[in-house]
A and B are shown apart, each in its own frame.
Chain A
Amino acid sequence: MGALLRIRDLRIGFGRAEALHGIDLTVGEGARVGIIGESGSGKSVTALATMGLLPDTARVSGSIELGGRQLVGLSDTGFARLRGDVVSMIFQEPMTALDPTMRVGRQVAEVLRLHQGAPAGRARERVIEMLSQVGLPDPERISMSFPHQLSGGQRQRALIAMALINQPELVICDEPTTALDVTVQARVLRLLDEQLDAAGAACLFISHDLAVVSQVCDEVLVMYRGTIVESGPIAQVLENPQHPYTAGLIATARIDQIEPGRPLPVIENFWDGKEGRP
């Protein structure tokens, strides 16, 4: 498998502060890579840089190569051609990611028309097919609905339909199930798993929840304050974490193994935040 996304020494700064201190990561074709870290660790900034969605004030250096094409310094029009086609993104909050004034079907069709130039009739057919493929009941009705008329889980399914309709090579998921409750989360994760497989798309999956990452990904990168502290195949990282921060994350994710009434382990039991800090 060749490398689809290759990031080298990526640094991102805002004002005087640097949010990302030179990270390297590689996503192979069809691979599933998770990025785990707490709020402010730089995981979302990495995703936004890859999508060309950083604000103009951001300073970016290093290299982001997607399918051999350099994305650092790429123009807005250059990114617009890639977004929704070669690379797409699924955001945390589907209510803000969808346009509240536009019917769901039209929003999904827009992605198709922009990149495939499909005529309206054909686009509509394909949209209904896609909405049905992501398990939305009564796709005809859903396509005529506005986002606020759908439940959180249905909105996230619509976003997945939108992200996958052009069969992108890479799908970036930024906390795609964090706003959902556990049962809906389980269903959306399973759907995502199936759809990524069906499309053969690679995935960069960002989450603060190691358990969720372990459901979807084969490899994991652990980020802390703008650096990658550990990376590897998920089995290896879970079984034999090298960094104490990773060990702490694993322990906090395993609350089902703690006897009720006993204090839950916290990161500080494993790591003081200094030792092994890169």
Chain B
Amino acid sequence: MTDDEPDPGVPVFEARGVSRTFRRSGTRGRVLTTALDGVDLTVRPGQRLGIVGESGSGKSTLIRVLDALLPPSSGEVLFRGRRIDNASSRQLGDLRSSVQMVFQDPRSSLDPRMTVGDIITEPLRSPLLRSRPDVPRNHGERLAEVLEQVELEADAAGHYPHEFSGGERQRIAIARAIAPRPDVLIADEAVSALDVSVRAHVLNLFADLVRSDRLTLIFVSHDLAVVRHVCDHVAVMRSGRIVESGPIEQIYASPAREYTRNLLASVPKLRVRTASSRRTATEVPDEMPPGPDDPPA
């Protein structure tokens, strides 16, 4: 333990009344889209928070605001008790060195011209991270360590991303994210582009890493059944708002909102079609019923 060790009582992230609007040109002139609408969120150290919702519900915007990749239009964002919503990039050193991200599509998130070894050790060469005391100095050693952690052969380091399968590429992206020993891992639909048979591998890997490296995890997905296996808490988003949140098992077992129930019912399950079930393939209503807290369209 060093003096720099964060106080366990201070939340890792805190969002207070965070809104974000985008201006874009549509067919009828400029349109204002509200991606986030007054979001309050607290992420505690060691928490494994799932953020679920349909496309366009604001999940990705929220994590981009938390990671200071996008400033909020209004509201406050704190990282370990310090405001980051109006901070300059120089003041974001702590955030940049402690938080790493894993994206959806490892085909576009890995530089095709770099070897796997260079990709994984690149964050270690970043000036923001070099200054941190616990960032591994010996890059070769750390590379070997993380390759082993994500169950890739040591000689993978000399190859290029295109030589690997989708699941292996996602493990490379994870190895890169954990190389600088972050405290927080943010995964944005990290298993959505993978084959179902490969998904279990990567989910098991997330679970193991969070346990062994004692990470705080923010896991974004449209699939509640997937989130249930890596998270202990969940926030359900719709139209830029958090409409329901709490311990995952509670929400999985008895969702309070119809929207959440629909999200759950939509997850495809193995079933045998019978003549009588042919007409009722799924019980999901055609359009989501509007919630009482729905913003007017």
Contact = CB atoms under 8 A, between A and B. Distances in A.
Given A184-B54, A256-B225, A260-B228, A210 B281 contact: no
Given A39-B165, A208-B195, A260 B229 contact: yes
Interface stretch (B70-78, B127-135, B266-274): B266-274
Contact of A252 (B197, B207, B282): B197
Contact of A234 (B265, B273, B279, B288): B273
B257 interface: no
A256 B266 contact: no
A276 to B, nearest CB: 17
Contact of A249 (B197, B225, B265, B272): B197
B87 interface: no
Interface residues of A, number: 49
Given A183-B54, A215-B281, A238-B272, A209 B196 contact: yes
Interface stretch (B13-21, B36-44, B93-101, B198-206): B198-206
Interface string B34-66: 000000000000000000001110000000000
Contact of B268 (A135, A151, A182, A267): A182
Nearest to B225: A256
A263 B229 CA distance: 9
Given A38-B197, A186-B265, A215-B281, A255 B270 contact: no
Nearest to A248: B197
A216 interface: yes
Contacts of A252: 196-197, 199-200
B30 interface: no
Contacts of A218: 273
B230 to A, nearest CB: 9
B262 interface: yes
Contacts of B222: 181-183
Contact of B281 (A184, A190, A238): A190
Contacts of A184: 54-55
Contacts of A216: 273, 281
B266 A182 contact: yes
Interface size, B (range):
35 or more
Nearest to B232: A260
Interface string B246-281: 001100000000000011011111111100001101
B88 interface: no
A185 interface: yes
Contact of A39 (B166, B226, B272, B279): B166
A208 B200 CA distance: 13
Given A183-B54, A186-B284, A252-B197, A258 B266 contact: no
A215 B286 contact: no
Interface string A237-258: 0100000000011101111101
Contacts of B226: 255
A170 to B, nearest CB: 19
Contacts of B198: 38
B270 A263 contact: no
Nearest to A207: B196
Contacts of A181: 54-55, 222-223
A264 B200 CA distance: 6
B165 A266 contact: no
Contacts of B278: 193, 197
A210 B286 CA distance: 23
Contacts of B225: 255-256
B108 interface: no
A253 B270 contact: yes
B27 interface: yes
A23 B27 CA distance: 50
Contacts of A211: 196, 268-271
A122 interface: no
A74 B262 CA distance: 47
B197 A189 contact: no
Contacts of A235: 272
A152 to B, nearest CB: 7
A266 B201 contact: yes
A96 B40 CA distance: 37
A63 to B, nearest CB: 30
A210 B55 contact: no
21 contacts: A39-B195, A180-B55, A181-B54, A181-B222, A181-B223, A183-B262, A183-B284, A184-B55, A186-B284, A193-B278, A209-B268, A211-B196, A218-B273, A234-B272, A235-B272, A248-B197, A249-B196, A255-B203, A255-B226, A256-B269, A264-B204
